[in-house]
Structure 1
Amino acid sequence: MRVIVIGATGHIGSFLIPKLVNAGFEVFAVSRHANTPYKTNPAWRSVKSISLDREKLEQTGEFGNEIAQLNPDIVIDLICFTQESAQQLVNAIRGKVRQLLHCGSIWVHGNTRFVPSTEEQQKFPLGDYGINKAAIESYLIDEYIYQGFPATIVHPGHIVGPGWCPLNPAGNFNEQFFIDIEEGNEVLLPNLGLETLHHVHADDVAQVFMQAILHRNNALGESFHAVSNQALTLRGYTQAIADWLSKPVNIRYLPLAELKNTVSEDDYNATVEHISHNSNCSNLKARQLLNYNPRYSSIEAIQESLIEMIKF
């Protein structure tokens, strides 16, 4: 079968494409630029690369048609961010594909009220990103229920893996936080450090997509969390990294109003955004229906990123 992967050279695609090739699928990798994947693999040599400018083509209503003309059996959309974008693709491939797999986000849950969050509980999305992803999920599930459109939604947590900086224990992407732990310097955490983050290795996200294809009948019309088995508290995350580095940990806790004066505006905004979501999601549904078995704990995934990034 032919699989079209939209946004193929990003974090998830770097691990997903080889899995698809090794499983015997004919793979077309669609991206805006001829980028190289984050992690090289010989399997990419058998992949056909297609360069399409999604944003530009959507303005003229042609992007979905371009995908349909590739005659896919399966479409995996890793870079859809609005309901309008999803609708254009669905309308173009309706009746022509066995399955559309959409990459959502655990941020559809927004301000988490019950933990661990399950896929079916009521959602309270925050911010444009989370609100748009929640709208796409609702649209695709309705399309399955009322039109029989073969959609599946995968909601990754905070993706980590070789090639990029993991979300740090303060809820932002400043790698200096990890260096400060390694050097024994004081690190600052918001509030009491009890908010949660839920990381996942990109390879495990790719595993959920693969399992959703292999267990298609269980996956149609469903959404699944792609996360590790356990979320991390901010202070627990900090302590785990310090223990891994065999360093004493020196944490100071600050109310957000005070923390704002100690970090950059970008770091502060990222911290507020992440602790407001307080992500902690169950992966039980994916384990039961898709036979998902994450290879990495959150800490193991983060460690792999840090070993390559900072050479710890």
Structure 2
Amino acid sequence: MRTVVIGGTGHIGTYLVPQLVQRGHDVTVLSRGERTAYQPDAAWDQVSLIQIDRAEEDAAGTFGQRVADLRPDIVIDLICFTEDSARQLVEAVEGKIQHLLHCGTIWVHGPSVTVPTKEDAPRRPFGDYGVQKAAIETYLLSKARRDGLPVTIIHPGHICGPGWIPVNPQGNFNREVYEKLAQGQELLLPNFGLETLNPVHADDVAGIFVQAIASRATAIGESFHAVAGDAITLRGYAEQISKWFGHEANLTYQPWDEWAAKSPESDAAATHDHIQHSPNCSMEKAERLLGFRPRYSAFESVLAGIKALT
């Protein structure tokens, strides 16, 4: 299979591209070339790398045709963030490929109503990222149902792995939170720390993409979550990290407004976004239709990134 991976040197691509090569795919990666994969793998020696700036190409209306000119059987789009960008790609490759796989986000759901949230739950996205991703999903699934577009959408949770800072027990990315927990210092959490996060190891996200390709007949026209089999509360997360460091957590709590007023603006914004969503998504559909189960639990997923920081 000739497979094009758009944005293949990031979190997901680090694990996905080697898996594709190992399964016999002829892989071409399109990337801005600003970074390399987070983990070394000999499989990258067999990958064709093309440096391209998607934003510039989209603005010129040429990106979709650049992909189509590679004559792929499969296109995996990991960096599409607007409906217009998705539309340009689809119009160029429609009728020419066997499978289009798009990377979405569990943010398409908005706040949880019932948990675990299933893929067919009503959408109530908020914030530009979630709204745009939900619009892309609506467009792609409409094309699948109306015109037979062979598309599958994968919605990851909070992607974790070695090489980047995972979302922390405050719901932001401040590395000092881990340092406080490591040293047994007091950590202040918003509210009662009972909001949830839904991490996933990047290797599991890669795994569900690979399984969707292998299970093409049941994957086409569907959306699937890519999260750990469990969600984790902020409080439980902090307690488990402290235990891993060898001591009990020293946690205190404040109402949201007070907590946010004492926090850096960027931390407060990230935390607010995460706790407003408080995701807890189901993996039942992926197991039923794709035979896929995540290897890593929520805590194992974040721990993979934390270990790399210590």
Counting matched residue pairs gives 310
| Range moving further from structure 2, 53-62 or 21-30 | 53-62
Tell me, what secondary structure is at the counterpart of 2:235?
Answer: helix
Unaligned runs of 5+ in 2: none
Question: Is 2:49 the partner of 1:76?
Answer: no
For 1:34 and 1:170, the matched residues in 2 are separated by 30
Tell me, what secondary structure is at the counterpart of 1:189?
Answer: strand
In structure 1, what residue type is equivalent to 2:22?
N
In structure 2, what residue type is equivalent to 1:45?
D
1:284-306 superposed Cα distances (whole Å, 9 cap, x missing partner): 10111111121111111111111
Matched with 1:175 is: 175
For 1:180 and 1:60, the matched residues in 2 are separated by 48
Matched with 1:25 is: 25
In structure 2, what residue type is equivalent to 1:114?
T
Alignment of 1:137-176 (within 5 A): 137-176=137-176
> TM-score normalized by structure 1?
0.98
1:87-117 superposed Cα distances (whole Å, 9 cap, x missing partner): 0000000000001000000000111111111
In structure 1, what residue type is equivalent to 2:185?
N
For 2:306 and 2:50, the matched residues in 1 are separated by 32
In structure 2, what residue type is equivalent to 1:54?
R
Alignment of 1:1-312 (within 5 A): 1-33=1-33, 35-309=35-309, 311=310
In structure 2, what residue type is equivalent to 1:23?
R
Two-structure CA RMSD over aligned residues (Å): 0.7
For 1:34 and 1:28, the matched residues in 2 are separated by 16
Contact 2:119–2:225 (CA under 8 A) maintained in structure 1: yes
For 1:37 and 1:60, the matched residues in 2 are separated by 28
In structure 2, what residue type is equivalent to 1:208?
I
Contact 2:28–2:48 (CA under 8 A) maintained in structure 1: yes
1:220-245 superposed Cα distances (whole Å, 9 cap, x missing partner): 00000000000001111111111111
Contact 2:283–2:293 (CA under 8 A) maintained in structure 1: no
For 1:26 and 1:102, the matched residues in 2 are separated by 19
Tell me, what secondary structure is at the counterpart of 1:260?
Answer: helix
> Runs in 1 of length 4+ with deviation above 2 angstroms?
none
1:226-285 superposed Cα distances (whole Å, 9 cap, x missing partner): 000000011111111111112121111111110122210000010001000011100110
> TM-score normalized by structure 2?
0.99
Deviation (angstroms), 1:34: 5.4
Contact 2:198–2:228 (CA under 8 A) maintained in structure 1: yes
Tell me, what secondary structure is at the counterpart of 2:81?
Answer: coil
1:204-235 superposed Cα distances (whole Å, 9 cap, x missing partner): 00001000000000000000000000000111
In structure 2, what residue type is equivalent to 1:231?
A
For 1:120 and 1:301, the matched residues in 2 are separated by 25
Deviation (angstroms), 1:35: 2.5
